[in-house]
Amino acid sequence: MKNRRNPWVLLLLLLAGALIGGIAGEALVRFPYFQWVSFGGVNGYRDLFAFSMHPALDLRVLKFGFDLSLSINAGSIVGMILGILVYLRT
């Protein structure tokens, strides 16, 4: 019987690795030896993708808008690589 891997588990491991690695990278960027983690971005993060609609709907009383952004640092990349390695080892 073949070992079938679930792609949802991979997605979950990638997201968890990016989140944990991003938090670790943000904490490590404060130390001089780990300045390379920041990529030169703001607070250690570099925007890969940003989308904004301000305001998408304006009813004078209620304003509705939408923001979406994807920001990474070196820690989140390392975390995603570790997530892939964990997925491949299971």
pLDDT digit of tens for each residue in the chain (90 aa)? 456 789 999 999 999 999 998 888 888 878 888 877 777 666 667 778 888 888 778 888 888 888 888 888 888 889 999 999 999 997
What pLDDT score was predicted for residue 1? 44
Domain boundaries, given as residue ranges, for the chain: 7-89
Helix (H) or strand (E) holding 2: none
The shares of helix, strand and coil residues in the chain, as percent rounded to the nearest 5, are 50, 30, 20
What pLDDT score was predicted for residue 83? 95
CB-based burial, 45-57: b 16+ in 10 Å, e otherwise:
beeeeeeeeeeee
Whole-prediction pTM: 0.74
Residue 59: what are its φ and ψ, rounded to 5°?
A: -110, 20
What pLDDT score was predicted for residue 3? 65
Cite the beta strand spans of the chain per DSSP E.
46-58, 63-72
